[in-house]
Copies of this chain bind each other. A is one copy, B any other.
Amino acid sequence: MSSVFEQMHKFFDPNSVAVVGASRKIRKAGHVIFKNFVDNKRRGVFKGELYPVNPHEDQILGYKCFSSLTEIAGGVELVVIAVPARFVPKIMEDAAKKKVKTVAIISGGFGEIGNHELENQVKTIAEKAGIRVLGPNCLGVYDSKTGVDMLFLPETKVLTSGDMVVATPRPMPGPIAIVTQSGAFGVAALDYLAGRQLGLSKFVSFGNKIDVNEPEMLDYLLHDEQTRVILLYAESIEAGRKFMDVAKKVTREKPIVALKSGKTEAGIRAALSHTGAIAGSDRIYDSVFLQSGILRVKDMEEFFDAGKALAFQPPAAGRNVAIITSAGGPAIMAADECESRGVLVKKFSEKTIAKFEALKKAGKIPSFATNFNPVDLTGSVTSEMFVEGMKILFEDPEIHSIIVIGLHHAPALQEDFVDRIARLKKNYTKPVVACDIGETEMALYLRFRFDKQGIPAYFSPEDAARAIIALVNYGQILRKTGSFEQYLKKFKTGKA
C-alpha cells in the first residue's frame, strides 16, 4: 500500500490518464476534459500517456479510442469518469479489473439528488478494490504545473452575438492552492485569480466526498512545493479529530484560510439542500478553526485578499501596525478596521516621533504632517517623503507591519514611489501592504505595479487592513507553536 501522499499525488501528476466518456461532441463534459489533456500535452505541459474511452467512437482528436478501460494495453494510473451516473458502477468494476488505484468521478446524479444507493454501490466497489475516489459530482483537479485539467468548463464561451469571450480561465502557475467543496464557487475562484493575475498551484473540488476529503488533501498540499498558501472553501467538514490533527500540522508550516458558509439558520438550511451534509452549529467551526490555526475569514473578498497577502508577504512578528498615508480619511478607515479586529495602531514611541520631527525640521516632509500613527504626509507628498517615512517605520522595532496608503491623486506623487518602497522593503522582513483608491487608469496601474513587486495592493483601506490582520494573526499562530522563525527562514528563501 502506497503512502497517502503518493495516492493523492496520482490525482495531480499521473503517468497515464484514461478519460471515460471522452467524446467528439463539443457540449459533452467528456469532450472538454479530454481536450484539456490533449491541448496540454501538445503544449508540453501534460507529459503522461492519454487514452480516450468511449464504445461509440473510433478516434477522438487524433487519439485511438478504446471501448472500455480493460481494452487499454498499457497501464492506467488515473481514470477520469464523465458518463451518466448509472454507468459509473460498471466503469468502476472495469477500473478494478484494470488495477487502477485512482479515480475522479466528475459525473453528478448521486447522493446530492437523493441517489444514495448508487453512491453506496460505487463506494463499495472502490473500497473492495482499494481505489481512491475523488467526487462524485465534482470538478476534480486542475494543476497548473502538470497540466492535469479535469474542468469540464471550456476556457472560452461563444455569446449569442457570435463573439467569443473568456469565461472560465485557468490562472497562471503560482503559490495559491484552492480546495473547495462547491464546484461552482471553485471555478468562480479560478476566474477571480486569473483576472487579478494571481497565480495558482493546485485546484481540487471534492463534490460528494465519498472517499478523499479535506484532511488528506491538506496533508498532500503541506508537502507540495508549489503551494505557499491554501484557500479552503467548505460548507461542512467531517472527520473532526482527523481534520484538526492534520490542520494543526499544516498550519505550522503553511497558512490555511477558510471560508466556511452556512453560518446562519437560513445559510445552514441552504447548505443542507446544497450538499446534503449537516452543517452543524457555526460556533463549533469557529472553535475548530481557532484550535487548528486556520484563519477564518468573513466573506469572499477577505478570502482572496488574505490569500494574496499570505502568498506574497511574511507574517508579522507582533500586533502593532504603522499606517503611512497621503490622505487622512482613508488612514482613519484603515485604523478603525485594524483596531476593531485586534490589530493595534498605537501611538509611536518618542524616538520615532522625534525622527519624524527631524524630517520636518530638515524640510524633508511638510511641517504640518502628522506623525503619531498614522503618519499623514498630506496631499503635498512626494516619492521621496514616502521613502524617508518608510525608513523610519522599518527601523522601529516596536512596529511589526506597515500599511502604505498612497493615493495617486496627490499632484507631486510619481509612480516611482512604488518601486522605491519595494526596493527598500528588500532589506526587512516586516510585512507591507498597500492601498490606492480608484477604478480608472492610474489607480489600476499603481496597484498592479505594487502587486508585481510583491507588495499586495488593495482597492480600499479596509481591505488593506484585513490583509494585515491576516498577516498578524498568522504570525501569532506561528509564534504559539514556536514555528515563526522557521517559517520566516523558508519564506525568505522562497521555498513554501
Contact = CB atoms under 8 A, between A and B. Distances in A.
Interface string A85-114: 000000000000000000000000100111
Contacts of A187: 407, 409
Contacts of A169: 440
A372 B273 contact: yes
Contacts of A275: 328
A235 B329 contact: yes
A369 to B, nearest CB: 10
A404 to B, nearest CB: 14
A442 B168 CA distance: 9
The A interface, classified by DSSP as helix, strand, loop or mixed, is: mixed
A410 B168 CA distance: 9
A176 interface: no
A440 B166 contact: yes
Given A182-B329, A184-B409, A263-B336, 14 more contacts: A153-B409, A159-B415, A165-B442, A184-B328, A187-B409, A188-B409, A188-B437, A194-B440, A195-B444, A261-B332, A261-B333, A269-B372, A301-B460, A301-B462
Given A372-B273, A409-B153, A409-B188, A266 B379 contact: no
A443 B191 contact: yes
A407 B188 contact: yes
Nearest to A330: B185
Interface string A324-337: 00111111110111
Interface stretch (A58-66, A218-226, A340-348, A391-399): A340-348
A390 to B, nearest CB: 18
Interface in A406-453: 407-411, 414-416, 437-445
A233 interface: yes
B335 A167 contact: no
A374 interface: yes
A341 to B, nearest CB: 10
B165 A439 contact: no
Given A266-B339, A274-B370, A440 B299 contact: no
Nearest to A195: B439
Given A157-B442, A262-B332, A301-B460, A184 B337 contact: no
Contacts of A327: 182, 184-185, 188
A200 B408 CA distance: 21
Contacts of A461: 300
A439 to B, nearest CB: 2
A82 to B, nearest CB: 13
Contacts of A440: 166-167, 169, 191, 194-195
A415 B379 CA distance: 44
A299 B269 contact: no
Contact of A274 (B159, B235, B376, B444): B376
Contact of A167 (B160, B266, B367, B441): B441
Contacts of A328: 182, 184, 235, 270-271, 273-275
Contacts of A335: 264, 266-267, 270
Contact of A345 (B192, B195, B266, B443): B266
A263 B184 contact: no
Interface in A5-36: 27
B265 A339 contact: yes
A196 interface: yes
Nearest to A323: B270
Nearest to A112: B368
A292 interface: no
Contact of A333 (B300, B336, B416): B300
Interface in A147-204: 152-154, 157, 159-160, 165-169, 180-185, 187-189, 191-192, 194-196
A38 interface: no
A470 B35 CA distance: 46
A329 B273 contact: no
